[in-house]
Amino acid sequence: MKKQNITKIITIILAMLTFSPLVNAATIQGSVYDIFLEELDKAIITVDTEPKQMAVSKDGSYSFEIPPGEYTILATYYGEEETYELEEGIKINEGGVYTLDLILTPVLGDDILGDDVNNFGNFSEDNLNLDEEKESSNLGIIITIIALLIIISYLHFAKSHFIKDLDESNLKSETEEDLEKLLKFLKEQGGRSTQKEIRKKFPSSEAKISLMITELESKKLVKKIKKGRGNIIILTKK
């Protein structure tokens, strides 16, 4: 009997040790973007867990279940003309759901950096100055490319987030100006006019004229009276 109890206890302990990492596992999820903040579909994402995990982004999204620890996430996207890549280190202390968006940058070709890395330290005194100029030129090209990428990313972000507010502001300003013109016209007509005459005065659609009158009615500046097939608009405050 004692031997059976000991066997049960050992089995329970082994089960707890086996499933403990799964209970404390964390969910890492997010989206994969390029430098223009466009979602990348079918990007390959790997994380160096034991065993190694790999996922392919669907509609730009990915998700992993990993236990606590320190890991490296590698994301790669093979485009038609360029390859994008990002290597990101993460540390998970406890279970939970964590969002980690990945912004991939283009992989520079070996023709830009490979020669400088492979031949470093093999310069002679005769061509040292020439090679230093070449290195400075390559560095300038790289800095210029990075600066251009930052500017393009900023302009793309600004366009999508701020142009909408500008359009709404302009539309509101134009509407207020049209309402003022309509009130002025009613005053010139002695405080009343038909909706048909208003439409003749203002080259706008019937729908827009109706909306303008409704707006003035809500502000209690005019009153609309139905007469036959038309409407009479009366100015309530002269």
What is the pLDDT, as a whole number, of residue 28? 93
- Confirm whether 138 is domain-assigned: no
> Residue 164's pLDDT band (boundaries 50, 70, 90)?
low
Write the CATH number for 10. Answer: 2.60.40.1120
What is the number of residues in the chain? 238
Same domain, 6 and 100: yes
Tens digit of each residue's pLDDT (9 = 90 or more) over 73-129: 999 999 888 999 999 999 999 889 999 999 999 998 654 444 554 554 554 555 556
For residue 192, give its domain range: 178-235
Tens digit of each residue's pLDDT (9 = 90 or more) over 99-111: 999 999 999 865 4
How would you classify the pairing of strands 26-33 and 102-103?
parallel
Same domain, 101 and 185: no
Same domain, 101 and 184: no
Where is the domain boundary, 52, 75, 107?
107
* CA dist., res. 51 & res. 72, Å (int): 13
- Confirm whether 219 is domain-assigned: yes
* CA dist., res. 107 & res. 84, Å (int): 6
- Confirm whether 158 is domain-assigned: no
Q: E strands within 79-221?
A: 83-92, 96-99, 102-103, 105-106, 192-194
Token pair belonging to 203: 């080259």
How many domains are contained in the chain?
Answer: 2
- Confirm whether 231 is domain-assigned: yes
Token pair belonging to 149: 């990428």
- Confirm whether 44 is domain-assigned: yes
Question: Which helix (H) or strand (E) element contains residue 10?
Answer: helix 2-23
Write the CATH number for 191. Answer: 1.10.10.10
